[in-house]
Amino acid sequence: MPAESNHASVNAFKVAAIQMASGPNVAGNLSEAKRLIARAAEQGARLVVLPEFFAIMGMKEQDKVAVREIAGTGPIQKFLSDTARQHKIWLVGGSIPLAASVPDKVLNSCLVFNDEGQQVARYDKIHLFNLSMGNESYDEAQTIEAGNQVVVVDTPFGRIGLAICYDLRFPELFRAMKEVDLIVLPAAFTETTGKMHWEILVRARAIENLAYVIASAQGGYHVNGRETHGNSMIVGPWGRILDRLPRGSGVVMAEVNPSYQASLRTGLPALQHRKISC
């Protein structure tokens, strides 16, 4: 197969993954997100992806419930809409806490806004993380209500499949998206699991779907004592890491090349060879 950098880049465009180490202060996190999105837009990104719970990583799990928003209204959603419109970009709002069907839980929701600031898609995280290992213990089901719908959105950049963090471990979710051109994956992977599994799983999802993957992560030490793995990355459809950021706040940038992707899918038509459907 041709090297990506040597293939004609007809209709290529730039995308960005934002990495943060969010804290408990929503206003502070939005300010940091605004700064990083502006940097990505200045560098030519047309599609920008924020990390999971970019606006709130609280001191305790219930903190995100306290700042949950009703779908369609609230300061976090207004920020995403205004920022997308201001920079004329498509903005994937990582994930934010939206009101669930019960008062003590939230939906972990990934919202997509177009370059006019209109929300065009919403995905509620299906797979809820549960870990008990050493001194670490997480049970997202205590504060998060699981979603149940696979979401794919048609955009000027192709078909984009939406997933969040722990979803990465379930390849059947990505197969259920059918044929997508890009996969966005906002995340807050723990350092414990991330150091062993994150890169392998992100690259595997790219390879098996011959898709670009934009994986935007929380990365670093948080005020609440949690350590997230970081290593936000953009991976091409042949599994090559195009850019990455190991730790800390910053912007990961890469060029998406649809003609290169099409050549791979023609040369290796694995997606047409599927025998077992989801």
- pLDDT tens digits for range 58-88: 999 999 999 999 999 999 999 999 999 999 9
Whether the pLDDT of residue 135 is over 80: the answer is no
The full set of domain ranges for the chain reads: 11-267
- pLDDT tens digits for range 153-167: 999 999 999 999 999
Helix (H) or strand (E) holding 218: none
The pLDDT value recorded for residue 136 is: 75
- Residues 132-154 have a mean pLDDT of 91
Give the CA distances from residue 160 to residues 1, 231, 246, in Å, rounded to whole numbers and listed in that order. Answer: 24, 21, 25
**4: confidence class by pLDDT, cuts 50, 70, 90:** low
74: left (phi over 0), alpha (psi -120 to 50) or beta: left
Whether the pLDDT of residue 134 is over 80: the answer is no
Give the active site residue among 4, 32, 105, 165. 165
* Reported CATH class of domain 11-267: alpha beta
- Residues 228-251 have a mean pLDDT of 97
Contact 26, 76 (CB under 8 A): yes
Strands 182-187 and 158-162, by their bridges, are: parallel
Whether the pLDDT of residue 245 is over 60: the answer is yes
Whether the pLDDT of residue 124 is over 80: the answer is yes
The pLDDT value recorded for residue 10 is: 58
- pLDDT tens digits for range 12-44: 999 999 999 999 999 999 999 999 999 999 999
Report the alpha-carbon distance of residue 69 to residue 101 in Å, rounded.
12
**1: confidence class by pLDDT, cuts 50, 70, 90:** low
The pLDDT value recorded for residue 190 is: 92
Average pLDDT of the chain is: 94
Report the alpha-carbon distance of residue 48 to residue 137 in Å, rounded.
31
- pLDDT tens digits for range 174-210: 999 999 999 999 999 999 999 999 999 999 999 999 9
- Residues 226-246 have a mean pLDDT of 97
Give the active site residue among 52, 69, 140, 255. 52
The pLDDT value recorded for residue 90 is: 98
The yes-or-no answer on residue 52 being catalytic is yes
Whether the pLDDT of residue 220 is over 60: the answer is yes
Give the active site residue among 32, 105, 110, 125. 125
- Residues 131-152 have a mean pLDDT of 90
